[in-house]
A = this chain, B = another copy of it.
Amino acid sequence: MKELSGGITAVPGFLASGTYSGIKKVEKKDLALIFSEKPCTAAGLFTKNEVKGAPVIISQRNIKKGIGQAIVANSGNSNACTGKQGTKDAEEMAALTAKALNIKSNLIYVASTGVIGEPMPMEKVRNGIANAALRLSKEGGRDAAEAIMTTDTFLKEKAVQIDVGGKTITIGGIAKGSGMIYPNMATMLSFIATDAKIASSDLRDALKAAVDKSFNMTTVDGDMSTSDMVICLANGVSGVSITRNKGYKDFQDGLNYVCTELAKMIVKDGEGATKFVEIRIKGAKTFNDAKKIGMAIGNSNLVKTALFASDANWGRIMCAIGYSGVKINADKIDLFVDNVKMVGNGIGLGKEAEMEATEVLKQKEFAITVDLRLGKAEATVWTCDFSYDYVKINAAYRT
């Protein structure tokens, strides 16, 4: 596997653009367009929130055929809780994009992220889509990544080349997300392209597997959004066929890598985050047990504020393990931060270990490892700390 620079347009046959259409109050890019010169097989995963944005509903409908060719996405307005007008607006966005690109509107995926409950400013969107279509280019991937940002502080893109039986395919993607990040969904917006030739059913399985180990293993604040969506388009331009019997594992590895790197970027850019924390749960009876415990730790405000303060308060971690809903044996638990063992057999190992751990927690990135010593299953969850700035950002979001 070889990393490429760039993201979605590092994949042959894909063009993109990102422009300012006026949806955002400040003049920052707010409309992204991604276009494959050839029709693609397509797979998508969507938020499990019962309250869904109108674009989610439209895109879920279109994904059923397993084909697609373009994605239109805006930031600044999520078009959620907007009733029938919202649905009409999302459908119009698909129709306008289809017209500008001269393709059918059921090949279009629509995604919106931003404030919930405000009508889409369609006059601006209409001009925006026309403009974005004119600006599509091979270099536009970065602009597209920028145009889907909301409270994100940096743009998120990743691309890799992988070798499949001596031939090369490319997988590239972009993502956005910073707050309202919680798993059990397809997570925030992420768009992934590949030039592999792969049936939509296989693409869906590979995407589901990749998302379950990447985006779905992250948490920033425990709030599951109404607009989360991951779409993957495969245009087959490489001429390399991926089937269950040929190249599937290589493709899966590449897809996992791109999704995991994008997911980690989202957590690193967590609202107000000052630290990136990998939580490794080992020795669980099942993957689900391990994930539940990792998420209980990763979602605990008390753990996260302690991490912010570089306070080696392992009692809060033990407490979160205890309420995770998983049957454990507290007297067996070992706990490490990086290589420093803080807890052995459920009991703290004293002041010296705590002082060493404090030094680890002062770093920008570190790992917390919990060994339950009950079985062989493992899971890795990514989270961030919880600082004053999370409150600041979210108290001020709409002002």
Contact = CB atoms under 8 A, between A and B. Distances in A.
Interface of A: 48-52, 78, 80-83, 115-118, 179-180, 182, 221-226, 299-302, 305-306, 308-309, 311, 313-316, 318-324, 326-328, 330-331, 343, 345-348, 386-388, 390-392, 394-399
B49 A319 contact: yes
A326 to B, nearest CB: 7
Given A82-B347, A311-B398, A319 B387 contact: no
A28 to B, nearest CB: 21
Given A301-B301, A322-B51, A322-B52, A117 B314 contact: yes
Contacts of A391: 305, 308, 386-388, 390-391
15 contacts: A50-B321, A80-B315, A80-B318, A81-B315, A83-B345, A116-B314, A117-B314, A117-B347, A222-B300, A226-B315, A301-B390, A308-B391, A309-B399, A311-B395, A390-B391
Nearest to A315: B116
Given A83-B331, A116-B313, 5 more contacts: A49-B323, A116-B316, A117-B343, A301-B394, A311-B397
What are the 9 tightest A-B residue pairs by CB atom distance, in nearest-first order? A116-B315, A51-B322, A309-B395, A305-B394, A49-B322, A224-B323, A117-B315, A50-B322, A83-B347
Given A80-B315, A316-B116, A226 B305 contact: no
A151 to B, nearest CB: 11
A302 B394 contact: yes
A51 to B, nearest CB: 3
Contacts of A302: 179-180, 221, 223, 394
A371 to B, nearest CB: 15
Contacts of A390: 301, 305, 391
A309 B399 CA distance: 10
A376 to B, nearest CB: 20
A324 to B, nearest CB: 8
A193 B115 CA distance: 50
A319 B388 contact: no
A319 B225 contact: yes
A274 B348 CA distance: 35
A392 to B, nearest CB: 7
Given A81-B348, A83-B346, A348-B81, A318 B116 contact: yes
B50 A81 contact: no
A343 B117 CA distance: 9
B116 A319 contact: yes
Contact of A313 (B319, B348, B398): B398
A69 to B, nearest CB: 30
A82 to B, nearest CB: 7
A306 B394 contact: yes
A92 to B, nearest CB: 18
Contacts of A52: 322, 330
A135 to B, nearest CB: 31
A119 to B, nearest CB: 9
A319 B394 contact: no
A320 B223 contact: yes
Interface-central residue, A314, A316, A391, by most chain B CB under 10 Å: A391
Contacts of A394: 301-302, 305-306, 309
Contacts of A392: 388
